[in-house]
Amino acid sequence: MNSKRRVCHLYERGVVPYAIAHSWQQSLVAERRQNPDLEDVLILLEHPPIYTLGQGATLDFLKFDATQSEWEVVRVERGGEVTYHCPGQLVGYPILNLHTYQKDLHWYLRQLEEVLIRVLAAYGLQGERVPGLTGVWVEGKKLAAIGIKVSRWITMHGFALNVCPDMSGFERIVPCGIVDKPVGSMEQFIPGIQLEDVREQVAIAFAEVFNVHLVQVDLEV
């Protein structure tokens, strides 16, 4: 890794419609394809209730008919199976140029897991990896999901950490296609936890793990 601390722009918002955030990501990635010297970005936000499917995801893990449902379902270019977003879940979208870190997708996934493990540790929770799977678990419950897209070594999509969401939305799917491992939230272990506090911890851990200097900005795309 480059020993010099890069500047990474931190953009924080509350609840943002998925389509808008997706458009932000696409614009930021396109700009960095044209000019690889642009600084990195970390977007932290929440989404209204929505189910997202990875590029190659199967509909078999939906427990409802996506064509005749009140629930919004969208297929996007990330990897992985179906997942659920809703308020109370902290979503992170790093737009990083991996040329300046490591051109290694497995390394990048492990780094994202490390960020989340450190966040959980700040609250006294022991986050764990599961061999062969991507994400972070606490006492057998999956608290964080990760799904990425990397194009010309520029990243988009990212991670989702269940802080204090309404967990009932997960009952309508097989989250990430994993049948035998339940999902969970930080709130189940720490009643009353506040998403705003966790968002701050995520920023701190991200800066440590990726060795960047976060500068809070207003995103203009």
Decide if 115 is inside a domain.
yes
Q: Looking at this protein, which amino acid is placed at residue 185? A: S
pLDDT of residue 86: 98
The closest alpha carbon to 82, from 112, 63, 58, belongs to 58
80 sits in the region (left: phi over 0; alpha: psi -120 to 50; else beta) called left
Decide if 1 is inside a domain.
no
Decide if 157 is inside a domain.
yes
Which residues does the chain have with pLDDT short of 70?
A: 1-3, 219-221
pLDDT of residue 3: 56
Residues 6+ apart with CB under 8 A from 118: 205, 208, 209
SS (H, E, C) 60-98: HHECCCCCCCCCCEEECCCCCCCEEECCCEEEEEEECEH
Q: How far apart are CA 207 and CA 205, in angstroms?
A: 5
Residues 6+ apart with CB under 8 A from 129: 110, 113, 117, 135, 136, 137
Are the CB atoms for 157 and 96 separated by under 8 Å? no
Are the CB atoms for 46 and 87 separated by under 8 Å? yes
Would you tell me how many other CB atoms lie within 10 Å of the CB of residue 158?
23
Q: What is the pLDDT of residues 29-85, one digit of tens each?
A: 999 999 999 999 999 999 999 999 999 889 899 999 888 888 999 999 998 899 999
pTM of the model: 0.95
pLDDT of residue 1: 46
Decide if 171 is inside a domain.
yes
pLDDT of residue 69: 85
pLDDT of residue 89: 98
- Give per-residue burial for 114-147: e unless 16+ CB within 10 Å, then b: bbbbbbbeeeebebebeeeebbbbbeeebbbbbb
Q: Please state the domain count of the chain.
A: 1
Question: How many H helices and E strands in the chain?
Answer: 3, 10
pLDDT of residue 221: 56
pLDDT of residue 220: 64
Decide if 221 is inside a domain.
no
* Residues with a known catalytic role: 176
Decide if 81 is inside a domain.
yes
- For residue 112, the enclosing domain spans 6-216
Are the CB atoms for 218 and 23 separated by under 8 Å? no
pLDDT of residue 195: 98
Can you give the CATH number for the domain in which 21 is found? 3.30.930.10
100, with CB counted inside 10 A (0-12, 13-18, 19+), is middle
